[in-house]
Amino acid sequence: MTPGRVLLVAGGTGGHVLPAIAFGGWIRRKHPGTEVGYVSGTRQVELEIYRASSIEPMTVEIEGSPIGAPRGRRIKRWASIIRSFVTAGRLLKKFNPDLCVLFGGYVSATSLILCRARGIRAVVHEQNARAGRITRLASRLGVPVASGWEACAPLRRADFTPVGVPIRSLRLTERDEAWRTLGLPEPRPSGPVAAVLTGSLGSSRMRDIIENLANREDFQDWSFIVSDPGASAPEKKLHNLTLLPARWDIAPVYSAADMLIARAGASTLSEACAMGIPSVVIPWGGAADDHQTENARMMEGRENIAIWPEDRDRMDELAQKLHDYKFLRRAPRSEAVEKMYNVAESICEGLWSFAAS
């Protein structure tokens, strides 16, 4: 039976929120009789991502994990988690979902426990190749787990079902149009263009690595466009390096670039693979449970994907990966759009079949 009301719970970072938005959009297109609701935390980055897709989520005030936080903040976070049970309980009662799909972030914790206690059908989607705390808790509670990859450590293979990571249907444009949309200086350069995606929270370390590259003699004819949440407008740092404000409509960035240099977030990797865009992936070693390294391992051996473990003593190796001819070969735009659409539809269909069955 098709659920009449589906509640999607996701917060924390774009890696959790964007797949929920993609899946919700697919449900509305394919199952227009189903009401879709969203629950988010209250961090500014979460709300910005939702609002960029014209979604106003219901919110639960929760700041993040108290584990490992400084003592003062730890107490505050435990208090917010306790209060979140009351808020989440009211939201569940008001929306009265037939199905709750939890995409992670600490906002999912209270919804998971309340769904289990109230007998509300729930499933968890784990985007990363290493399961987070919420997913591990869900598995122990007997809640079904769908995963983004063929691995979901430390869960056993029998304890999860791989479906892929829901991705957005992006409108790719011609490169000149994308360049203008991004507000970059014209004319568009003739040399290779590398788009650098540092994650929804940004990465000063990654920005420093790219600046190091841009200063090298062998990259003087390249252009690096770097996503930087701290920038309020395009800002030229070097003649071949421009900082871009964070954008949640990422299509112009993908359209303008010959290749990507990116962290190993699940959504970014899934979109890059779906489009066939050449990518050098630099896992962030500080990710929870080192899940970005696990994600990167899923990419090993894939065409047009290279992995570089962040190491300043190996900059020559990174430079060589960028110069390698195969990373400058990009699928034709029309082919990339068709492939991305087919992949996006297939993933959402798989998650829907899993969740609604």
Which residue ranges form the domains of the chain, and what is each CATH number?
Answer: 5-166 (3.40.50.2000), 175-340 (3.40.50.2000)
User: DSSP characters for 264-310?
Assistant: --HHHHHHHHHHT--EEE---TTSGGGHHHHHHHTTTT-TTEEE---
Q: How far is CA 312 from the centre of its chain?
A: 26
Give the pair of three-digit tokens for residue 47: 């709300």
Residue that wins the pLDDT comparison between 106 and 113: 113
- Mean pLDDT, range 173-191, rounded to an integer: 91
Give the pLDDT of residue 67. 64
User: Among 44-48, 66-70, 333-337, which is the least confidently predicted range?
Assistant: 66-70
Give the pLDDT of residue 204. 87
Average pLDDT, the chain: 91
Whether 185 shows a pLDDT value over 90: the answer reads no
Give the pLDDT of residue 143. 96
- The H-or-E segment that residue 38 falls in is strand 35-40
Give the pLDDT of residue 68. 60
Percent of the chain with pLDDT over 70: 96
Per-residue pLDDT tens digits for 2-60: 789 999 999 988 999 999 999 999 999 999 999 999 999 988 889 999 999 999 999 99
Give the pLDDT of residue 229. 83
Whether 190 shows a pLDDT value over 80: the answer reads yes
- Mean pLDDT, range 340-357, rounded to an integer: 93
Encode 277-316: b = buried (16+ Cβ within 10 Å), e = exposed: bbbbbbbbeebeeebbbbbbbbbeeeebbbbbebeeeeee
With beta carbons less than 8 A apart as the criterion, state whether 65 and 289 touch: no
Give the pLDDT of residue 187. 87
Per-residue pLDDT tens digits for 205-254: 999 999 999 999 999 999 999 998 888 889 999 999 999 998 888 999 99
- Mean pLDDT, range 102-119, rounded to an integer: 93
Encode 136-171: b = buried (16+ Cβ within 10 Å), e = exposed: bbbbeeebbbbbbbebbeebeeebbbebbbbbbbbe
Give the pTM. 0.92
Place of tokens 């670039």: 257
* CA–CA gap between residue 62 and residue 57 (Å, rounded): 14
